[in-house]
Amino acid sequence: IASRLQGIPPTIFTTMSALAVRTGAVNLGQGFPDVDGPPDVVAQAVAALEGGANQYAPGPGVPSLRQAVAEHQRRHYGLDWDPDGEVVVTTGATEAIAGATLGLVEPGDEVVVLEPYYDSYVAMLQMAGAVRRPVTLHAPDFRLDADALRAAVTPRTRFVLLNSPHNPTGTVLSRAELSAVAELAVEHDLTVITDEVYEHLTFDVEHVPIATLPGMATRTLTISSIGKSYSFTGWKIGWATGPAHLVGALLAAKQWLTFTSGAPLQPAAAYALTSAADFPKQLAASLHERRDLLLTGLAEAGLPTPTPDGTYFAVSDITHLGWADATEFCLALPERAGVVGIPVQAFYTDHPDAGRQLVRWTFCKRPEVLAEAVGRLTAAD
């Protein structure tokens, strides 16, 4: 295995989902819904398959999806992007992150990035030869420390990689926190790449795209995908929007990664964004209820857990149960209780101690599944 991949552990999601399957445990680990998105959207994908959308799509994406993405950014956020040149369709947000990184980073460049990290960031930055400059979010409130952010920027900073709503902590960066990032970016003439895949999954707080802040539209690449907003995580259709120089850098890499993304799913994703535009709001309302169900159950099981403002994840501190090490806890839990969670330590690559006692649970499962999981946790000794 090549040196660019050495030291990167296998993704925790594969490990923990395999453990769930092997033990028959309730899987509150990997974040994927157990109910699919809207059937009429699925019907559009079937129609596209049967209607002959089975050959290569254009590299930047089919025009209807690029238009739908541009229209989505305009409708929700007042951001105005040209579907030709300022919008690119990718194979999930994952490929957008990969393409932007490979398209922008020179070996040795620094990237300022929020820790705990969504795990593909660590792998991609290493593969591109980037140096991580972490800005670490600490339990229990996981807020962004503006001084730590400022201290992480150097003359070698290539870009700031943000994620809000934030996986795994559920933090939704406030307008004030984002303004601190924006002011720094303007001051140092920095690019910001922002992963907003959970943009619609917030509860009682507003998601602010950093591209909407003063001076930011011309320096921000915004990434999202169909996976979380529409409960189609298996489709792997994502997109990025921003100024042509950033979209172009991503596309320059993407043409050699995948060339183009799945043709029949793109018109269906366009349909979702335009004709099922209310779905994400309904999903967020339903997740809000399921979040509260999980948190109530966890508290009853002896695990009082802070309330996340967004995503479909909540993070518990297992010292409440007398445990110290979340990796040991999570590896033992399927046998002890028949439940799978994710040790958050896996995402604190640079400061593992900051996540040693933290476990992430997803609440994107049906209420009866959540009830079963918390029942099992309560019954465990």
Whether the link from the prior residue into 264 is cis, omega within 30° of 0, is no
Q: Which residues pair with 361 in a beta bridge?
A: 314
CA-to-CA separations, 341 to 194, 206, 297, in angstroms, rounded: 26, 28, 15
Closest CB to ligand GLN among 182 and 330?
330
Closest CB to ligand PMP among 359 and 377?
359
d(CA 366, CA 261): 30
The window from 149-157, 233-241, 331-339, 359-367 that contacts ligand PMP (CB under 6 A) reads: 233-241
Residues making contact with ligand GLN (CB under 6 A)? 11, 13, 30-31, 167
Radius of gyration of the chain (CA): 20
- Residue 30 interacting entry, from ligand GLN, ligand PMP, none, C-beta within 5 to 8 Å by type: ligand GLN
CB of 11 to ligand GLN, least distance (A): 6
Closest CB to ligand PMP among 238 and 243?
238
Closest CB to ligand PMP among 133 and 360?
360
Is 116 among the residues that bind ligand PMP (CB under 6 A)? no
d(CA 242, CA 80): 9
CA angle 190/78/40 to nearest 5° reads 115
Closest CB to ligand GLN among 31 and 243?
31
CB of 56 to ligand GLN, least distance (A): 26
CB of 221 to ligand PMP, least distance (A): 14
d(CA 114, CA 285): 27
Kindly identify the residues of this chain, within the stretch 160-199, that bind ligand PMP according to CB under 6 A: 163, 167, 195, 197
Kindly identify the residues of this chain, within the stretch 34-93, that bind ligand PMP according to CB under 6 A: 92-93
Give the residue among 41, 21, 65, 22 at the shortest CA–CA distance from 270: 65
CB of 29 to ligand PMP, least distance (A): 12
Kindly identify the residues of this chain, within the stretch 238-267, that bind ligand PMP according to CB under 6 A: 238
Q: Where are the alpha helices (DSSP H) in the chain?
A: 12-23, 39-50, 63-77, 92-104, 119-127, 146-152, 175-188, 226-229, 244-257, 265-275, 279-300, 326-337, 367-379
The total of other beta-carbon atoms located within 10 Å of residue 358's CB is 27
Residue 179 token pair: 């303004």
Closest CB to ligand GLN among 31 and 343?
31
d(CA 356, CA 353): 5
CB of 197 to ligand PMP, least distance (A): 5
Taking each helix axis as running N to C, give the angle between helix 367-379 and helix 326-337, from 0 to 180 degrees, rounded to the nearest 10: 100
Is 227 among the residues that bind ligand PMP (CB under 6 A)? yes
- Residue 236 interacting entry, from ligand GLN, ligand PMP, none, C-beta within 5 to 8 Å by type: ligand PMP
d(CA 259, CA 224): 19
Q: Give me the residue whose beta carbon is nearest to ligand PMP.
A: 92
CB of 313 to ligand PMP, least distance (A): 9
In angstroms, the first-to-last Cα distance of the chain is 42
- Residue 199 interacting entry, from ligand PMP, ligand GLN, none, C-beta within 5 to 8 Å by type: none
CB of 272 to ligand GLN, least distance (A): 19
**What are the residues binding ligand PMP (CB under 6 A)?**
92-94, 118, 163, 167, 195, 197, 225, 227, 233, 236, 238
